Amino acid sequence: MAEIKIRNLHKEFGTGADKVVALEDVNLDMGGHVFVSIVGPSGCGKSTLLNILSGIETPTSGSLEITQSGHKAAPGYVFQAARLLPWRTVMDNLLFVQQDKSDETRARCQKYLEMVQLGDKGDKFPGELSGGMQQRVGIARAFSIEPDVLFMDEPFSHLDAITARSLRRELHTMWADTGKTIIFVTHDVGEAVELSNRILVFAQGGRLEDDITVDLDFPRDAADEEVAIAKASVLRKFEEFDLLAT
Ligand SMILES: Nc1ncnc2c1ncn2[C@@H]1O[C@H](COP(=O)(O)OP(=O)(O)OP(=O)(O)O)[C@@H](O)[C@H]1O
Ligand SMILES: [Mg+2]
């Protein structure tokens, strides 16, 4: 299982009067079979942190280690939009990110398409699928490389509430079955409480304000009283920090 060690991570964009501090001196340890959600208001550095973890951005200063049994861990990503290649079939979109195209690899891709209920859609092109189905292909693609750690940046925010709910359940089952480390950005506190063992609350200026453990059994339903109480308590902290930021 993956271990993530972040030390004094700092990220600035621009210089002089245009300077923006996106992350301020972040220190964090995450790892094991954990589902971590990162929440906070728009512009508080959530995507920047994920992009640095994914290697898309480099930090201004500080250090970052993502390891698996002492070696560099293999990451997978799911972003807000599925980012599929429209001229390739669903199966070819999954095969495109694999190291080989063997029968074994193809069978693995098929297994993950089945996990997101799209086992019969391998021959379709992305344009023939709904937005929710495309997002599921994106999730199957990320799982199909069997990464040690999966980074997800608001993967369900463009979807309708019912599709998002069923995808959350599928994702959670896959997390439980595969034992991955998942780091999940959302600004939906309810989604974070439903899915995670741990919630990191960021505030404007990229400060990590709180690190909350959510110790409730899975599966969780938004209608459960304990889940509603946990959500209200995170939202209260959210309000506090928003007030502090103004
Ligand atoms: N490439 C960039 N160039 C300049 N500034 C940037 C860049 N990327 C992010 N920023 C700034 O860094 C800050 C953090 O942005 P980030 O995208 O990480 O926020 P976020 O928490 O993901 O917000 P949202 O919830 O709206 O997605 C913001 O002030 C943003 O304007
Ligand atoms: Mg973002």
pTM above 0.85, yes or no: yes
Question: Which-ligand-closest: CA of 57?
Answer: 1
Q: Using CA atoms of 166, 168, 169, 175 in order, give the dihedral in degrees to the nearest 10.
A: 150
pLDDT for 242: 62
Tokens linked to 161? 């509430």
pLDDT for 246: 43
Question: How far is residue 202's CA from residue 39's CA, in Å, rounded to a whole number?
Answer: 6
Task: Quote the ligand 2 centre to 111 CA distance (angstroms).
Answer: 30
Task: Quote the ligand 1 centre to 231 CA distance (angstroms).
Answer: 25
Helix axes 103-115, 161-178, angle to 10 degrees: 130
198: three-class secondary structure by DSSP: strand
Question: How far is residue 42's CA from residue 60's CA, in Å, rounded to a whole number?
Answer: 21
Question: How far is residue 150's CA from residue 212's CA, in Å, rounded to a whole number?
Answer: 20
Complete domains list, the chain, with CATH: 2-74+147-245 (3.40.50.300)
Average pLDDT across each block of 10 residues of the chain; the chain has 246 residues. List them in order.
94 94 97 93 92 92 94 88 94 96 96 93 97 92 91 88 86 89 93 95 92 93 91 85 52
List the residue whose alpha carbon is closest to atom 18 of ligand 1.
45
Question: Which-ligand-closest: CA of 202?
Answer: 1
